Amino acid sequence: MASHFQGRLREAYNAMSERVLDLMQGEHGVRQSLDSALLRAREWVMTVNELTHEEADDLAATLRREVDELSATLVAAEEEFEDWVETDLLFAEHRAVECMLLAADPTTRDLMRLKEMWTEQMAQLIREGDTVAAGAYECVDCGEVLHVKVDDDVLPACQACSGTVYRRIRSAVM
Ligand SMILES: [Zn+2]
Q: How far is the CA of 53 from the centre of ligand 1 (A)?
A: 39
Average pLDDT of span 54-59:
91
* Residue 2 in domain: no
pLDDT tens digits, residue range 159-171?
999 988 888 876 4
The domain of 146 spans: 126-169
- Per the structure, how many domains does the chain have? 2
Q: How far is the CA of 165 from the centre of ligand 1 (A)?
A: 8
Residue 18's pLDDT is 83
34 and 96 together in one domain: yes
Read off the pTM: 0.50
Residue 174's pLDDT is 43
DSSP E strand stretches across the chain: 126-127, 131-132, 135-139, 145-148, 153-154, 165-169
Residue 28's pLDDT is 60
41 and 108 together in one domain: yes
119 and 142 together in one domain: no
Q: How far is the CA of 149 from the centre of ligand 1 (A)?
A: 19
